[in-house]
Amino acid sequence: MKNLRRASQIVFLILFLFLFIQTEYKGKNELGLPVRFFLDFDPLIALSSLLTAHTVRLIFLLSLATIALTLLFGRVFCGWVCPLGTLNTAIGYFRMRRLKLSLSEGRYPGFRPLKYYILVFILVAAVFGWNAAGFLDPISLTIRSLAIGFNPVVNKMVRSFFEFTYALQIPGISPALDAVYSAMIGTVLAFEQPVFLQMILVGVLFAIVLGLSLLAPRFWCRYLCPLGALLGLIGTKQALARVDVDGEKCISCQKCNVSCQGDATPFPAGDWASRECLTCFNCRDVCPAEAVTIHPTTVRTGSGNVDLQRRWILTSGLAALVAVPAVGIGGHRKRTHPLLIRPPGAIPEEQFVKTCVKCGECMKVCLTNGLQPTFSEAGAEGLWTPILVPRLGYCEYNCNLCSQVCPTGAIREITVEEKKEIRIGLAFIDKNRCIPYFLGRNCIVCEEHCPVPDKAIVFIEE
């Protein structure tokens, strides 16, 4: 079963990365299946969007499949599917094999309730209008981090390699590499080198999330992940994969605890915390006495509980009540920031910040790199939501890809014809810089680039 789990993790990670690469302009306005496929199965995104925006998208019904799987097998999504969980597992493996540290040195059972308090904060904040789930949801976090923090770096490294080898002009090799490079543009690599204003910040934060696994295997999954907490609550009484330790066979070696991916402590018998179990089967596989069994049962075989203290639950809820008005206070509420230009198809601003989960899908797919993550333009509640920065890239007139990949409907899905009728901003002429006005010389560049058939910009000779 351990090998089967590893195979499942590898397959889903490859699928995730494949869909991530597919979420790119390919020369036409059809993407196929973008990486938002994983977000559609995410119950935390579905629940937070329901509580915040009071809307239910039909696609969110796919998250019911994850819930049903959790009711039967517990946090199997975390242990077998989640791409961030797989990356953390890989870091944990490096920790054990290369740093010569054991799993038992990285157990912090006192931290286990933390993710549940984070979940309480997110859900209470959602009820009162702040959709904070996207910041910490593992799927949204991973897509955003890879799109903004790592994809530009990978693109630059690959491009630099091919440019270097092409400059060497090695007979027989440089032409072949040039052909490979041409084939990669628009398939594996972006048409243009991606650039994001917050690339370093987002990349460093994701590196910290992964680096925590050097402190404890799957540190994020064990102690911080709000989706894991939600699935843990749903799967407390999992029916088909409950862990049982035979006290008569057990030799108290605690290998089951050491190998447990979720820090669910199968030993001693009856102390198994079902909410933390990732259904990894490690405990059964490593038991030398074959005292651990995983089987369906209607009888509770463990505590299933984490020591959640009422005062900390109330504190988390109160913190959310304070945070909601705090993030909503700012100049952006009184007067829209002059640089806040949303993508075409974006719903009204107040509803937009409640609906957007900051996943970065639209920024990843923008072919001109014009969509960028906000920092202060939309206040704290709108952090990392998309805005158009014309100085970096224009909005392609015949493109509607950003509306195709949005998982929550913050950017409603529109056709290219509908998009052409949407006004996202109004151009004006700075007469102090315009060449015909300032220098008295002919220039028709803006008229030439205006994509509207009847031309919104015309020049009149006087």
The model carries a pTM of 0.90
pLDDT tens string 168-192: 777 778 788 888 888 888 778 888 8
pLDDT tens string 401-459: 999 999 999 999 999 999 998 988 888 888 888 888 888 888 888 888 888 888 888 87
Instruction: Give the model's pLDDT for residue 302.
Output: 52
In angstroms, the Cα distances linking 206 to 91, 145, 202, 209, 220 are: 13, 6, 6, 5, 11
Q: Per-10-residue mean pLDDT for the chain, 462 residues long?
A: 89 94 83 85 94 84 92 90 94 66 62 94 95 95 96 93 82 82 84 90 95 89 94 81 81 82 80 83 85 70 69 95 88 80 93 93 93 92 94 90 92 92 85 86 86 82 69
The residue with tokens 């790119």 is: 24
Instruction: Give the model's pLDDT for residue 103.
Output: 46
Instruction: Give the model's pLDDT for residue 224.
Output: 94
